[in-house]
Amino acid sequence: MVDRLQNFIDGNWRPSRADQALDVVNPATSEVLVQVPLSSAPDVNQAVEAAVRAFVEWRQTPAGERIQPLFALKALLEKHLDDLALTITDECGKTLSESKGELRRAIENVETACGMPTMMQGVNAEDIARGIDEFMIRQPLGVVAAITPFNFPGMIPFWFLPYAVATGNCFLLKPSERVPITSAKIFDLIRAAGFPPGVIQLVHGGKEAVNAILDHPRIRAISFVGSTPTAKYVYSRAAGNGKRAQCQGGAKNPVVVMPDADMEMATRILADSAFGCAGQRCLAASVAITVSDARPALTDQIMAAAHSRKVGYGGNPEVEMGPVISAQSKARVEGLIAKGESQGARVLVDGRNRKVAGLEEGYFVFPTVLDEVRPDAEIARTEIFGPVLSLMHAGTIDEAIALVNDRSYGNMACIFTSSGAHARRFRYEVNSGNVGINVGVAAPIANFPFSGWGESFFGDLHAQAHHAVEFYTQTKVVVERWPKTWSRKF
């Protein structure tokens, strides 16, 4: 009998009122770790009621006081980093160093939000007319919610949580039902950090919990990260209910390799981007476009990198790549490779039907390289979310940029080159919100917004930094006159 996780509401752990639950599985072994309840409207309502009550005091708490529990949370996250990293590895599959890396980004966001007393300052103008001053202040929205995906259980909630509460909102998290244990552990730390009850809540579940959040009249804003079809659904239902929404979707990230690139560096970084986190990163390189003479060297070296990558349980320090998240995901990725082959691609390195000794029940797909992928092939256009790199070839940088821009997603595009002119042209012309120059995972640090474009993002204000401050606050403009006769009395 495995344990069933609880929700965190009004400062306490509480069992979900839902009967239904799902097994949470270690993808490297298929062992059931715990059960997650599939909460629905009654649990969401209870959490929102507690948040509405807490908001009355929290919004009046000075920003300088609101950030004190965030300082405590940063220290607790640092202290428990190793345990949290192992939890991420066990429920999500990535390697320990990848898990630690995402936690470092989480901590960075907590640190950045600790600047809120300055970040949320308004602006003013004296004497906009004689004796009249005008100023704009930022006020919190009320209760806000975030719905997050499976692939970064330790980091993505922190793209939102610290900013939401530091600006004076009360916050509800609905993490992915596939990786809920990391959130459960983080909420033990949130409890210890000293936030007043009701300021931060955790409700586990899937689609029903999401719908209850989207329809709740007291939730003012929705932050979402996940696949594009769900992002579109969440964005339109949230907007239909009059809420603010920022919804980050899927990706299909191209990387251009010029003949003047440092080929050894380009291949090493490209392999990490394509195969790191088993390709389950929204900033994973999915298509490499070689230009002219870059083709033979890049092809040989990326094949070698794919062959040599050590695959296995991420908690083993020698392992460089873990499993994909589920049996369904493995079947889908392997099916897409087969589809690619049937549509004319050559399979240079085949990661299908491979087993890791001792972990025969794990959901492993080994690194895969496909060549001569046609731009109109399904594998060139669909997000694979597995360790699969497609190669395409262009004669010139013009052709390469045209291939980069021939897609609906716009999460990331990268170029490897030693030419500043090529690099500048690339960053100027590509339709992508995050751009890498000799970088394979162009993930903005916490002080910059995470800028997806196209089908990778629905909304206008992105996660992190000053965009998060704007998203979680509403502006109020005051036009003020104090007749001189009044002041003369004193």
Tokens of 426: 């690339």
Nearest 5 degrees, angle CA 256-CA 257-CA 260?
140
CB of residue 451 to ligand NAD, shortest distance in Å: 10
Binding region for ligand NAD (CB under 6 A) out of 24-32, 142-150, 163-171, 332-340: 142-150
Cβ distance to ligand NAD smaller for residue 210 or 345 = 210
Q: Between 207-215 and 228-240, two packed helices, what is the crossing angle to 10 degrees?
A: 30
411 touches ligand NAD by CB under 6 A: yes
282 included as an active-site residue: yes
In sequence order, what are the beta bridge partners of 132? 129, 481
Among positions 40-99, residues that touch ligand NAD (CB under 6 A) are none
Q: Which is nearer to ligand NAD, 180 or 367 (CB)?
A: 180
Q: How many residues bind ligand NAD (CB under 6 A)?
A: 28
Q: Are 271 and 305 in contact (CB under 8 A)?
A: yes
169 binds ligand NAD (CB under 6 A): no
Between 149 and 312, whose beta carbon lies closer to ligand NAD? 149
Q: Does 160 bind ligand NAD (CB under 6 A)?
A: no
Query: Judged by CB under 6 A, does residue 150 bind ligand NAD?
Result: yes
Tokens linked to 259: 């003949």
- Out of 102, 383, 455, 470, the only residue in the binding site for ligand NAD (CB under 6 A) is 383
Taking the complex as a whole, how short is the minimal distance between the CB of residue 176 and ligand NAD, in angstroms? 4
Least separation in angstroms between CB 410 and ligand NAD: 10
CA distance 159 to 66: 17
Near ligand NAD by CB under 6 A: residue from 39, 148, 223, 432: 148
Give the number of C-alpha atoms closer than 13 A to the C-alpha of residue 308, restricted to the C-beta side. Answer: 10
Q: How far apart are CA 459 and CA 244, in angstroms?
A: 8
Query: For residue 444, how many other CB atoms are within 10 A of its CB?
Result: 17
Residues 6+ apart with CB under 8 A from 337: 347, 350, 351, 352, 368, 370, 379, 388
Is position 16 an interface residue for ligand NAD (rule: CB under 6 A)?
no
**DSSP state letters, 234-285:** HHHHHHHTT-EEEEE----EEEEE-TTS-HHHHHHHHHHHHHGGGG-STT-E
Q: Is 473 in the site for ligand NAD (CB under 6 A)?
A: no
Count Cα atoms within 13 angstroms, Cβ side, for 207: 2
Q: How far is the CB of 197 from ligand NAD (least distance, A)?
A: 24
| Active-site residue identified among 92, 277, 282, 414 | 282
* Binding span for ligand NAD by CB under 6 A among 195-203, 257-265, 359-367, 449-457: 449-457
Structure tokens at 190: 């949130």
Out of 385, 416, 458, 472, the residue judged to bind ligand NAD by CB under 6 A = 385
182 near ligand NAD, judged by CB under 6 A: no
- Does residue 119 sit in helix, strand or coil? helix
Which residue lies nearest ligand NAD, judged by its C-beta?
A: 226
Kindly tell me which of 416 and 457 has the beta carbon lying closer to ligand NAD: 457
Strand order across the beta sheet in which 219-225 lies: 12-14, 7-9, 200-202, 170-174, 143-147, 219-225, 244-248, 457-458
Q: Scanning residues 264 to 283, which ones bind ligand NAD (CB under 6 A)?
A: 282
Residues 84, 119, 145, 147: which binds ligand NAD (CB under 6 A)? 147
Site for ligand NAD in 337-376 (CB under 6 A): none
Query: Which of positions 293-332 make contact with ligand NAD (CB under 6 A)?
Result: none
Give the tokens for residue 305.
Answer: 């990198």
CA–CA dist 29, 414 (Å, integer):
35
Question: How far apart, in whole angstroms, are the C-alpha atoms of residue 311 and residue 100?
Answer: 18
Closer to ligand NAD by Cβ: residue 172 or 266: 172
Is position 183 an interface residue for ligand NAD (rule: CB under 6 A)?
A: no
Residue 456 within binding range of ligand NAD, rule CB under 6 A: yes
Which distant-in-sequence residues (6+ apart) come within 8 Å of 115 by Cβ? Answer: none
436 binds ligand NAD (CB under 6 A): no
Q: Annotated catalytic sites, by residue? A: 282
Give the binding site for ligand NAD (CB under 6 A).
147-152, 174, 176-177, 206-207, 210, 225-227, 230, 233, 248-251, 282, 383, 385, 411, 450, 452, 456
